[in-house]
Amino acid sequence: MIKGMIFLARSKSFHSGIVLMDNDKNNLTVLKLENYIESIPDFPKPGTLFYDLSPLIESPQAWKLAIDKLCSILAGSKINMVYGIEARGFLVASAVALKLGIGMQMVRKKGKLPGATVALTYDLEYGTDTIEIQNRPINYNNRVAIVDDVLATGGTMRAAIDLLSKVSIPVVCCATIIELPFLKGRERLNTDFDSLLTYDGT
């Protein structure tokens, strides 16, 4: 199963709405994050449904709402560093880091980071993959969150947790914009997890 892709799904939203008022002070509009997630069938291959965050990122109000709500969740864990998973997780992580005034680092695929790195190879449904982080001095006072766009089977998120744990970086929580709970990815994580939107697969 490719992250962010499923067969047919219906969305449910948690923490996702906000009321906006336009300039005439009378017309109220409810901004819902799920309205900014585009479902694209048969991408990148036939039989899959891809959840595209491009409309969400394109809308300043919707993107700000999503990041504000993620930050509200993460701030409760008193994090002071956030890691983003390649590649769309970088967009989420950098926005969260800027909002919270904390540092950000990247979890990348093998061979994409300069300098010395630490790697971890993990199992996929068919084969294996390898992710890396830069081998930088460890601040043992860091409280780290890992973020991404979608949690599907949880394999990559769990690998990122294990990779940071390998170098004694404490991961206190994880979060995504979208979760596919019927794939049970949350059950693979050994830390707190939250998401803004879920798609139940029915």
Q: Is the pLDDT of residue 100 over 90?
A: yes
- 134 falls in which pLDDT band (50, 70, 90)? very high
Catalytic residues: 88, 125
Give the C-alpha separation, 154 to 167, whole Å.
21
CATH assignment at residue 82: 3.40.50.2020
170: helix, strand or coil: coil
| Alpha-carbon distances, residue 149 vs 21, 94, 133, 180, 196 (angstroms) | 28, 12, 19, 11, 10
Print the domain residue range for 60.
Answer: 5-199
Q: pLDDT at position 127, please?
A: 87
- 120 falls in which pLDDT band (50, 70, 90)? very high
- For residue 68, what is the enclosing H or E element? helix 60-75
Q: Is the pLDDT of residue 175 over 90?
A: yes
Residue 146, judged by CB atoms within 10 A of its CB (0-12, 13-18, 19+), counts as buried
Q: Is the pLDDT of residue 41 over 50?
A: yes
Which range is least confidently modeled, 20-34, 51-65, 137-151? 20-34
Say what the pTM is: 0.86
Q: Is the pLDDT of residue 10 over 90?
A: no
Number of domains into which the chain is organized: 1
Average pLDDT over residues 23-29: 46
